[in-house]
Chain A
Amino acid sequence: MVINPYPTQASRMIRKQVDLKYLFKPSTMAVVGVSTSQDNHPANVIYNKNHLRYPVKTFPVNPKGGFLNREILYPGVGHIPEDIDMAVIAVRAEVVPKVVEQCIKKGVRGAVIISGGFAETGNLKLQQRLVDMAKEASFPFVGPNCLGIYVPDYMDTFFLPGERIIRPEKGNIGFVSQSGGVLVDQMVKFASQGIGISLAVSIGNKAYIRETDMLDFFDQDLETKAIVFYIEGFEKKEGRKFVKRVEQCSKPVVVLKAGKSKKGIEAVSSHTASLAGDYRVFSEIMKQYCVAEADNEYELTCFCEALSCYSKGIKGNVGIVSLSGGHGVIAADACELYGISIPKIERQTMDTIKGKLSPEIRDIVSLANPLDLTGSSVDSDIVTAARHLSRDKNIDCIIALLIPYSPGVSTDIGAKLSQVARNERKPMIAYVPNEDKYRIIIEGFELNNIPVASSVEGAVMMAKALTRCRPC
């Protein structure tokens, strides 16, 4: 191998470019700080689960060396005989810079620093030292003070025993969270709603890798369709940088903001300053740049499910198909609350639908929007209504409220309606109660990429998500 001792300007530039793929999709991983005596030490939990359950090749490191469960315990990252893509560092805060130095020397391409004891405890200097070292060497790291990275079926640096957490399946949501706890909690909610994740990162103190870096990464990542952030706050002018980056991003972006309440009542000198509190400014600017801001965790889950299926925005003119008058009314109320309109359907649409309905229900249905097909309707009536509502030019999204206990509804209804949505090319959102008994209907939709809400309100929230992404 020829090593050029005098790198050119160009080759130096290439070396300086930070590529996050080694950090998020590594082939080899070192876990630094593995204990020989404590099985529940974070580093041990991380080492064990990656070593035993994931395809990433994992090496344990502890200065004492020796063996751990018959595997070699390396005294330093430099002792590992293979190239290392990324390191998980879970040692005492004051030792972290030394470990990072060793990683840089070894040519490791990035790290997750789990350790706490930095800016969050007032130790700003130590954190800055770390950042300076890493920036100088173009050595990206996640954290410190974080859970790190979770990639379904691939790697997991969360120091939570595998059997204790509920993991969502592989999917297309990229999740970035300032809080590890909120991320784990949200993963539970995603799992129960069948929402999959491409990559989840807890960025902790976000000393090096911050929200905007993750936007860059996810925008390029082929496995991610929608990008979600849990944000507590930005640094000075960082919000501006973030929305400017969102403007260039080709994928829908969702945020959940915490820290909305006013911190005390500050004396403000102008009307504008008192009208434009921190949270209002945040929220209005997210709207301006087509970021879908979820009001709460429940809405976040709905937004993610909708945007993992559809990435194109709608104006928000929904057509509602229901098998019960009550469900239609509840949906209409929710639409008003969330700023979704339920336009009148055209005469021609009504006539076409009426002509094709089963004779038994033709005279008892309510041909309006919401369209109430009554509990006597059968699959073909629901399919007809959805098909022709989709063709109405006033409608840009269908909400199908399915009551699976209605006797005329078959278990195939999910698959049948999915076919309508595919053919008519208008987004469809379904409501089916989230019960094991109705799983086959839910899967009929979900396997065909139609989002299913577990409440009527949730279905409307999904439509709201589509109104909040481009074009807004």
Chain B
Amino acid sequence: MLEKDSKKIIENSKSLGWVLEPDAKAIMKLQGLDIPDFILTNSFEDADTFFKNCNGPVVVKAVSKKILHKTEHHAVVTGIFSSDHLKTEMARLLKLDGCENILVEQMVQGLEIIIGAKNDFQFGPVIVFGIGGTSVEIYNDTAIRMAPIKPGDVLSMVESLKAGQIIKGYRGKAGVNMEILTNLMVNFSLFVMELENDLESLDLNPVICTKDRCVIADARIMLQVS
């Protein structure tokens, strides 16, 4: 069942037509899926404290109802290693159209994949899986299955990709933890079935995968315009 809080977020986002990233991630977390540690703030001091506690690089993103495609608006900065850099980028992002808050997140590194869902006219909810990042349309290396999916479907999706070997581990490099990935995808597909009546499409892109974790670094939920 969809969590009560998730339902509330979806209801409140209907007028906008999509769910803001921090809200979308909150829903994923309620669903038991892994998201990076974060702080949502417009104060540099709070952000800096968070950064120092992270003991590592952070990512900053503008949160604005007017910015759906963040990359095109230069609203994402990855690899922030210093307080100075954090300060200048925060100041820049806060000037972007409609930006009231900044999402500061722990930066996770690993293989970028996309896990998506679409409410297809003929088949209802379907799950898309492939190599992720900002160039997914260029690579277009994806597999599609009708939701809900079974654990066996996850393996067949991985194996049907051209980049399947990269996910499984290649030339001595550790692959993605298949057990975690499988749980994530099966869980996600069940969630998508719950959301069927409200969902237009959904991107978890990228999901950063390592041998220990699969972390949802960005989430975008597009709702059906009724």
Contact = CB atoms under 8 A, between A and B. Distances in A.
Contacts, number: 95
Given A281-B123, A285-B123, A285-B126, A273 B145 contact: no
B122 A271 contact: no
B202 interface: yes
Interface in B179-226: 200-203, 205, 220, 222
Interface string B94-128: 00000000000000000000101110111110101
B145 A288 contact: yes
A281 B143 CA distance: 9
A395 B167 CA distance: 29
Given A276-B128, A288-B146, A270 B202 contact: yes
Given A281-B118, A284-B145, A288-B146, A275 B126 contact: no
B130 A275 contact: yes
A239 B220 contact: no
Given A270-B222, A276-B128, A281 B68 contact: no
Majority SS at the chain A contact face: helix
A282 interface: yes
Majority SS at the chain B contact face: strand
A288 B120 CA distance: 16
A271 B141 CA distance: 12
B137 A233 contact: no
B34 interface: no
B130 to A, nearest CB: 7
Interface in B138-155: 140, 142-146, 153
A86 B201 CA distance: 46
B60 to A, nearest CB: 22
A interface residue count range (under 10 / 10 to 19 / 20 to 34 / 35 or more): 20 to 34
A281 B140 contact: no
Nearest to B204: A272
B28 interface: no
B120 A271 contact: no
B136 interface: yes
B152 to A, nearest CB: 10
A327 B202 CA distance: 49
B203 A271 contact: yes
Contact of A240 (B18, B123, B142, B200): B123
B187 to A, nearest CB: 17
Contacts of B128: 272, 275-276
B116 A275 contact: yes
A323 B33 CA distance: 59
A243 B144 contact: no
Nearest to B114: A271
Nearest to B156: A288
A412 interface: no
Nearest to B123: A239
Contacts of B137: 271, 274-275
A313 to B, nearest CB: 15
Nearest to B144: A284
A31 B87 CA distance: 84
B124 A272 contact: no
Contacts of B126: 276, 281, 284-285
A128 to B, nearest CB: 20
Interface string A233-275: 1111111100100000000000000000000000011111111
15 contacts: A234-B123, A269-B200, A270-B201, A270-B203, A271-B205, A272-B116, A272-B201, A273-B118, A273-B222, A275-B128, A275-B142, A276-B126, A285-B126, A288-B156, A289-B146
Interface of A: 233-240, 243, 268-276, 278, 280-282, 284-285, 288-289
Interface of B: 18, 68, 114, 116-118, 120-124, 126, 128, 130, 136-137, 140, 142-146, 153, 156, 200-203, 205, 220, 222
> 8 smallest A-B Cβ distances: which pairs?
A272-B116, A239-B122, A284-B144, A239-B123, A234-B122, A270-B201, A273-B201, A276-B118
